[in-house]
Amino acid sequence: MERRNFIKQTAMAATGIAIFSSFQSLMKKEDIILGHNNKKYKLDTNWGKLDFNRYPVKDCHEMVQDSKGRILLLTNETKNNVIIYDQQGKLITTWGSEYPGAHGFTLFNENGQEVLFICDNTRHQVIKTTLDGRVLLTLDYPKETGEYTKPEEYVPTETAIAANGDIYVADGYGKDFIIQYNYKGEYIRHWGGKGPENKHLKNAHGICIDHRNKKHPLLIITSREQNAFKRFTLDGNYIDTIDLPGAWVCRPVIKGDYLYAAVLQSQNKLWKQSGFVTVLDKHNRVVSNIGGNAPIYENNKLNELFQTENVFQYPHDVLIDNDQNIYVAQWNSGHVYPYKLTPIA
């Protein structure tokens, strides 16, 4: 009898220690300062947490912020494809049940009206909607290019919208072409694709328009499996490559002078929850890795980047608000809601 009691008490104590240890581990994550130089942050893993039974998520793919300050999250959970938060992380509303492959999410101000572009991997389409989900335009697979014979070959992952309304679609999980349309959805041209030359792409996962030089806007396109961004003119001519050795970067997001990107994983630890967030300055040099190693350049060449703090699993996108807070959406990371990074003054 005494032995059974001893075993029971020992087991209870061990359970208590495990819970306390887990709590301590979480507290350590919340308390540590992440990042480098003038881009250091404190982590909040509870910012976007909701009642999972009522508002579930699968993969939290991407996030945007509208002119009212609301934060919109895109998930491939068809009970609520779009979850809309206020900046404190409180739920405002949800919508969407028709996007099983919801992946890319772009917001554009079209003559005073804000619209969304959703890339759906499963539907093999790009869908333009209002902020409350009303469909305005649907782009099917780009047979006009002559590169595709069926919808299944086309798996769009991201869009970027030019000031004149031109739509650029990155076929990041298909044939790696960039397809350009006018604002009506009429085909203009395409480029990229797989191949050995610099102009080619390998996993063209993300795309954005860089307006930091207002006289000469250009496209920055992810070539994720090459651990790089590539820069192109707006009509598709290759300019140069921004090498990010070791970093499987997702879409580039520009705020002010800086370029931010979620890094899905580290090359030295593939498919082992090894992601982080990277920040580049206006010269396209890495200045901070949030959850990763300090960036070091030797002979003007960047050393390999990798995760050092196990605070993220597979970051998939970042959003930066006007207070310079960063919100991080994650793929395949245990159905977690977005995290928030608050800058340290």
Q: What is the pLDDT of residues 142-172, one digit of tens each?
A: 999 999 999 999 999 999 999 999 999 999 9
In this structure, how many other beta carbons lie within 10 angstroms of the beta carbon of residue 63?
24
pLDDT band at 3 (very low <50, low <70, confident <90, very high): very low
Alpha carbon dihedral 24, 30, 31, 36, in 10-degree steps, equals 130
Structure tokens of 306?
């990798």
Give the chain's mean pLDDT.
Answer: 93
At 156 the pLDDT is: 98
Which one, of 131, 134, 88, lies nearest residue 342 by Cα?
88
What residues form DSSP beta bridges with 180? 168, 189
In this predicted structure, the answer to whether residue 255 has a pLDDT above a threshold of 60 is: yes
62 Cβ contact partners less than 8 Å away, ≥ 6 residues apart? 73, 74, 103, 104, 105, 251, 316, 317, 329
pTM for the structure as a whole: 0.92
In this predicted structure, the answer to whether residue 210 has a pLDDT above a threshold of 80 is: yes
In this predicted structure, the answer to whether residue 23 has a pLDDT above a threshold of 80 is: no
20 Cβ contact partners less than 8 Å away, ≥ 6 residues apart? none
In this structure, how many other beta carbons lie within 10 angstroms of the beta carbon of residue 5?
9
What residues form DSSP beta bridges with 255? 258
In this predicted structure, the answer to whether residue 294 has a pLDDT above a threshold of 90 is: yes
Mean pLDDT of the 11-40 span: 62
The CA-atom distances, in angstroms, between 330 and each of 75, 333, 340 are 10, 6, 12
In this predicted structure, the answer to whether residue 10 has a pLDDT above a threshold of 60 is: no
pLDDT band at 31 (very low <50, low <70, confident <90, very high): confident
At 29 the pLDDT is: 66
